[in-house]
């Protein structure tokens, strides 16, 4: 992945969204690629980012800097910037509510047009960081074995919701009414499900010499439908952190702070593991884990790490049912096999 290098985290995250493959290969097209955005030419792309760098104050104001800014909202706003300012696209609307009898059915994340202008494009975006369970619901490659750090969410549930609700919302009669001001014929639809998948590191995993071999090295296969080049990392429990540092002979660590969980910092921004240890201990004492880190060593390119509490997970969501209107909750756990 050849992502632009920038000093400002907002610009790095914009470049990451443009360059990064989705988590899954889906039947729906993914996010618009460089060519569709008019940013295929390297020099033009460089000039585009230079122009953004001159307008950082306005970009930061649009994105917002409140500490409680949700990661999903942050990514939506970054995509608003991309589609509004890319040479080959024009943002028509965002967060367009679809209602029936004054009841909101949902929102269309982004509505834009491209050079073809054949029909507006509905882009639904989501940013997710899922951790794989060696044992769990379904088969070894089931998407339901990949769950969020909080527990109730899973890759299976999110993917199904996007396919059966979010991306179909634009085809409803209510959506046609909302889109009438754009003179919109039937929409084209895209789904940008981005983020990273974290494979389970255990003491027997040992060294990692190549992040692309994580399924092989950790013994956890990628979920069904995973994009071959999906961003990946490892997850481990707090009690395994010292062993992890020693085994991988880490020379640098940095914490990723929300909402900047997207692009990785450069190797020169990593700190010695010992210097970050007091901060990690404080987070663990406050039960503030999980944390997303990036680590590196002389033999290892920067690698994503999700550090979770020793008792994680407390809940595993059940696989979704395809029956309309069904509701299923996750199950509390008995002690998880260690």
User: Model-level pTM?
Assistant: 0.90
**Dihedrals phi, psi of 128, to nearest 5 degrees:** -140, 145
Dump pLDDT digits (tens) for 183-239.
666 778 899 999 999 999 988 888 887 888 899 999 999 999 999 999 999 999 999
Instruction: Output the six-digit token pair for 107.
Output: 């929102």
Predicted pLDDT at 169: 79
Distance of CA 262 to the CA centre of its chain: 7
Predicted pLDDT at 184: 61
Predicted pLDDT at 4: 56
Dump pLDDT digits (tens) for 217-228.
999 999 999 999
Q: List, in sequence order, every beta strand (DSSP E) within the chain.
A: 90-100, 103-113, 121-132, 146-147, 188-200, 232-237, 252-255, 291-297, 300-308, 315-316, 331-332
Instruction: Output the six-digit token pair for 167.
Output: 């991306």
**Quick one: which H or E segment has residue 45?**
helix 42-53
Predicted pLDDT at 337: 35
Which residues of the chain are under the pLDDT cut of 50? 1-2, 323-338
Q: Are 167 and 28 in contact (CB under 8 A)?
A: yes
Predicted pLDDT at 13: 95
């Amino acid at each position: 992945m050849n992502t632009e290098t920038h000093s400002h985290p907002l610009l790095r995250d914009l470049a990451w969204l443009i360059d990064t493959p989705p988590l899954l290969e889906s039947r729906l097209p993914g996010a618009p690629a460089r060519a569709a955005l008019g940013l295929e030419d390297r020099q033009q792309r460089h000039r585009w980012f230079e122009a953004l760098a001159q307008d950082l104050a306005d970009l930061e104001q649009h994105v917002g800097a409140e500490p409680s800014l949700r990661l999903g909202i942050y990514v939506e706003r970054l995509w608003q910037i991309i589609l509004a300012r890319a040479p080959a696209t024009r943002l028509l609307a965002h967060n367009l509510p679809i209602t029936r009898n004054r009841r909101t059915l949902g929102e269309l994340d982004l509505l834009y047009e491209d050079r073809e202008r054949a029909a507006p494009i509905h882009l639904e975006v989501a940013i997710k960081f899922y951790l794989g369970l060696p044992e769990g619901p379904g088969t070894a490659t089931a998407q339901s074995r990949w769950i969020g750090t909080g527990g109730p969410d899973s890759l299976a549930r999110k993917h199904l919701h996007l396919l059966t609700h979010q991306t179909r919302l634009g085809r409803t009669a209510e959506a046609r009414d909302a889109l009438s001001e754009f003179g919109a014929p039937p929409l084209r639809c895209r789904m940008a499900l981005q983020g990273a998948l974290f494979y389970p590191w255990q003491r027997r995993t040992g060294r990692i010499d190549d992040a692309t071999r994580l399924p092989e090295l950790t013994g956890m296969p990628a979920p069904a439908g995973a994009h071959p080049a999906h961003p990946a990392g490892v997850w481990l429990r707090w009690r395994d952190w010292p062993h992890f540092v020693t085994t991988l002979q880490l020379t640098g660590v940095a914490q990723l702070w929300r909402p900047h969980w997207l692009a990785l910092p450069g190797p020169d921004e990593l700190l010695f593991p010992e210097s970050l240890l007091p901060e990690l201990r404080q987070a663990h004492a406050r039960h503030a884990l999980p944390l997303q880190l990036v680590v590196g060593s002389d033999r290892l390119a920067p690698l994503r790490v999700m550090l979770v509490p020793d008792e994680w997970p407390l809940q595993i969501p059940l696989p979704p049912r395809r029956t309309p209107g069904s509701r299923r909750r996750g199950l509390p756990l008995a002690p998880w096999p260690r």
